[in-house]
Amino acid sequence: MRKNILMLSLIAGMVALSGAGMFVNSAKAAAPSAESCKDCHTDKFASFMKSRHAKGAITGPNGTGACLTCHGPSMAAHLEKGGGKGTGAFAFGKKADPATKAAQCLTCHGDSKHLALWESSKHKSVGLSCDSCHSGHSSLAKNLKMPQTELCFSCHKDIKSEAGRQSHHPIKEGKISCSDCHDPHGSFGSKSLKADSVNDLCYKCHAEKRGPFLHEHPPVAENCMSCHIAHGGNHNKLLEQKAPNLCHNCHTGSGHFTGPYTAANGFSSLTTVAARAVGRSCLNCHAAIHGSTTAGKQGKYLAR
Ligand code: HEC
Ligand code: HEC
Ligand code: HEC
Ligand code: HEC
Ligand code: HEC
Ligand code: HEC
Ligand code: HEC
Ligand code: HEC
Ligand code: HEC
Ligand code: HEC
């Protein structure tokens, strides 16, 4: 990183020195300093000065070439002409090529482990670039353009609506964030998940669901998503469906009757209210739905 920064200021310096009629602030500063942009770009100057990048990260607040690191490499023509569009200052914005924009940032961030998978990420493949989410002028954490949840929701309206349903992971409450589960810069897992598999992801926060159990419920170890949804839905506990329907996807009435209970069609051996499809339905008895640590028949049938 440090080497890159040095190289950049070196290149900036060389460009400045070789250019004719250069805008040189002082004998020491070979490239135009941020100050030289201040009068015409008051707002951008001010926002940059408040940003994380200006706090010593990029060649110092008033240091040589601070603005050039992202809007360079050269600003000679721009300054000569007294500013203006298309006069040699590199502009971000919708019209600019995403890869060229990313290159402005990757000069310094290319070797960050966070960005190792950017090139193969979904976000890159759909044409996003760093400035879709970050700004060089932000004073928010991680230089984001807006608070994270708001940022992700601004494009992912479907997820916003899921996360607003009755049962949901507490994302809008701010207890967890999208980036706890996803890496917006890409990952080895599917859907940019921050784990090799869905289950490995869930175990990070719900470790007790990993067991070990004396009696496992096979779909649990296989994929949490066979019963749950990730962001939110209309059934309690982020369930895809509620019992007994959920259970009926896989259990179709072997052994005791596992269909919906009616007055005529219930347990003959188990005539309690619990046997009816009321309240927690199947879960009234099969409460250890993720696996049981109880020995014997109780455990085998996932009762507590
Ligand atoms: C004399 C005034 C002036 C100075 C000095 C100046 N600019 Fe500009 N700059 C402008 C004007 C005017 C525009 C056009 C803005 C617009 O149309 O919104 C512009 C546009 C830009 C753009 C967008 C370019 C584009 O093609 O859309 C960038 C980036 C920029 N300036 C950066 C800088 C930086 C960095 C510096 C200091 C090294 C600087 N400017 C110095 C007046 C100036
Ligand atoms: C770390 C990279 C970075 C640095 C350093 C930086 N900027 Fe920017 N700048 C951006 C990004 C990204 C955008 C587009 C997003 C936005 O508008 O906030 C932008 C937008 C701009 C724009 C609007 C035109 C455009 O490109 O969209 C101007 C003008 C500008 N910056 C001027 C400056 C000035 C002046 C400085 C130095 C005081 C500076 N910038 C330093 C990254 C940077
Ligand atoms: C889809 C949105 C998005 C895009 C596109 C994106 N980022 Fe990020 N980036 C984020 C978010 C969100 C975080 C904060 C993650 C966190 O807090 O764990 C972040 C964090 C970072 C960090 C800080 C890593 C750390 O934890 O210290 C860097 C550096 C970074 N991004 C650079 C880039 C660069 C360079 C690009 C373009 C190649 C880029 N990002 C593209 C959303 C994005
Ligand atoms: C000249 C080198 C350089 C360039 C160019 C550069 N950065 Fe940085 N960036 C840094 C340094 C140094 C840090 C501070 C690292 C730290 O504090 O760990 C940083 C920090 C960050 C962070 C983390 C902020 C935080 O809160 O932890 C993000 C995000 C980021 N840069 C994104 C970008 C984006 C997006 C661009 C392009 C628009 C860009 N950077 C261009 C050098 C650069
Ligand atoms: C608790 C972990 C978790 C959180 C927090 C989370 N996600 Fe997800 N997300 C997942 C999982 C797991 C999947 C994959 C679901 C599947 O394969 O059925 C997924 C899938 C997605 C998809 C792909 C959907 C599709 O149909 O292809 C998008 C887009 C997405 N998430 C966006 C977000 C956004 C935006 C946020 C924050 C508002 C967020 N996620 C928060 C776990 C999470
Ligand atoms: C500028 C728009 C935009 C922003 C901002 C944005 N995304 Fe996306 N994202 C997309 C598009 C477009 C796709 C591809 C289509 C889709 O899956 O919806 C995508 C895909 C995804 C996927 C599926 C990835 C895969 O590998 O299949 C996830 C997960 C995701 N985004 C999470 C996030 C998170 C988390 C944030 C906030 C940090 C975010 N996105 C911000 C536009 C955006
Ligand atoms: C980053 C941590 C984190 C990850 C990863 C995570 N969760 Fe959660 N989960 C939470 C938090 C926090 C809650 C809310 C707990 C509370 O409010 O008591 C929660 C609650 C739940 C609930 C109960 C919801 C309710 O309405 O009571 C279910 C079910 C759940 N998570 C399933 C999953 C599944 C399945 C995965 C994997 C896709 C997963 N979680 C990944 C943090 C996480
Ligand atoms: C066979 C369906 C099924 C599978 C597969 C499944 N769950 Fe559940 N899960 C449920 C049911 C049903 C409930 C509601 C239990 C209740 O209300 O007592 C639940 C509740 C939860 C809860 C909230 C209540 C609690 O017990 O803490 C969490 C967290 C949870 N599951 C996480 C997971 C994780 C993580 C996985 C994957 C390792 C997973 N589940 C796999 C059916 C399943
Ligand atoms: C994705 C499929 C799937 C779903 C959904 C599912 N199960 Fe299972 N369940 C299995 C499999 C596979 C077994 C292993 C025994 C077998 O092959 O029948 C099993 C075993 C059981 C057993 C132990 C039976 C024995 O003989 O050891 C009980 C009890 C049980 N499930 C109850 C439930 C209940 C209650 C629900 C709903 C909350 C449910 N299951 C949802 C697939 C599923
Ligand atoms: C009143 C308690 C009770 C309720 C309610 C209940 N079960 Fe059971 N279930 C049992 C008992 C006890 C066993 C052990 C075998 C037996 O004695 O019939 C069992 C066995 C099972 C088995 C393993 C044997 C077999 O039949 O394959 C499955 C699967 C099962 N139940 C699924 C369900 C599903 C699905 C529901 C909801 C539709 C449900 N159970 C409702 C008590 C109950």
List, for residues 178-219, the tens digit of each pLDDT value.
999 999 999 998 999 999 999 999 999 999 999 999 999 999
Q: What is the pLDDT of residue 84?
A: 94
Q: What is the pLDDT of residue 26?
A: 37
Q: How far is CA 258 from CA 85, 219, 228, 272, 282, in A?
A: 71, 18, 21, 15, 8
Question: Ligand 9 within 6 A of 300 CB?
Answer: yes
Distance of alpha carbon 35 from the chain centroid: 36
Per-residue pLDDT tens digits for 142-172 = 999 999 999 999 999 999 999 999 999 999 9
The answer to whether the CB of 32 falls within 8 A of the CB of 80 is no
pLDDT at 220 over 70: yes
Q: Ligand 1: distance of its center to the CA of 43 in Å? A: 12
Task: Please give the structure tokens belonging to residue 230.
Answer: 């990730």
pLDDT at 282 over 80: yes
Segment 16-20 shows an average pLDDT of: 35
Question: Ligand 6 within 6 A of 209 CB?
Answer: no
CA–CA gap between residue 160 and residue 232 (Å, rounded): 9
Question: Ligand 6 within 6 A of 146 CB?
Answer: no
Per-residue pLDDT tens digits for 261-280 = 555 554 444 444 434 455 67
Q: What is the pLDDT of residue 61?
A: 45
CA–CA gap between residue 88 and residue 124 (Å, rounded): 26
The terminus-to-terminus CA distance of the chain in angstroms comes to: 56
Can you tell me which atom of ligand 4 is nearest the CA of 1?
12
CA–CA gap between residue 260 and residue 120 (Å, rounded): 48
Q: How far is CA 134 from CA 54, 106, 121, 298, in A?
A: 15, 13, 16, 54
Q: Ligand 1: distance of its center to the CA of 71 in Å? A: 10
Segment 36-45 shows an average pLDDT of: 92
Task: Please give the structure tokens belonging to residue 219.
Answer: 């779909």
Segment 31-40 shows an average pLDDT of: 85
Q: Ligand 4: distance of its center to the CA of 102 in Å? A: 12
Pocket of ligand 3 (CB under 6 A): 102, 105-106, 109, 112, 114-115, 118, 123, 128-130, 132-134, 142, 144, 148, 179, 184-185
| Cβ neighbours around 135 below 10 Å, total | 18
Q: What is the pLDDT of residue 144?
A: 97
Q: Ligand 9: distance of its center to the CA of 217 in Å? A: 6
Distance of alpha carbon 176 from the chain centroid: 11
Q: What is the pLDDT of residue 33?
A: 81
Q: Which ligand has an atom closest to residue 253 CA? A: 10
CA–CA gap between residue 279 and residue 283 (Å, rounded): 9
Closest CA to 43 of 137, 127, 184: 137
CA–CA gap between residue 108 and residue 1 (Å, rounded): 6
| Cβ neighbours around 45 below 10 Å, total | 19
Q: What is the pLDDT of residue 159?
A: 98
Q: What is the pLDDT of residue 5?
A: 42
* pLDDT class of 244 with cuts at 50, 70, 90: confident
Q: What is the pLDDT of residue 286?
A: 93
Lowest mean pLDDT among 21-35, 111-125, 234-248: 21-35
Closest CA to 222 of 168, 290, 282: 290
Question: Ligand 7 within 6 A of 230 CB?
Answer: yes
Segment 36-40 shows an average pLDDT of: 91
How big is the CA angle at 225 (ends 172 and 232), to the nearest 5 degrees? Answer: 20
Q: What is the pLDDT of residue 229?
A: 98
- Closest residue by Cα to atom 42, ligand 8, is 227
Of 94 and 224, more confident = 224
The answer to whether the CB of 189 falls within 8 A of the CB of 199 is no
Q: What is the pLDDT of residue 276?
A: 45
The answer to whether the CB of 188 falls within 8 A of the CB of 177 is no
* pLDDT class of 72 with cuts at 50, 70, 90: confident
pLDDT at 10 over 50: no
The mean pLDDT value of the chain amounts to 83
- Closest residue by Cα to atom 41, ligand 8, is 224
Can you tell me which atom of ligand 6 is nearest the CA of 151?
5
Task: Please give the structure tokens belonging to residue 210.
Answer: 């990993």
Task: Please give the structure tokens belonging to residue 273.
Answer: 């209210």
* pLDDT class of 97 with cuts at 50, 70, 90: very high
Q: What is the pLDDT of residue 264?
A: 55
* pLDDT class of 75 with cuts at 50, 70, 90: confident
CA–CA gap between residue 79 and residue 38 (Å, rounded): 12
Using omega within 30 degrees of 0 as the cis cutoff, is the peptide bond preceding 73 cis? yes
Q: What is the pLDDT of residue 190?
A: 94
Q: Ligand 4: distance of its center to the CA of 3 in Å? A: 14
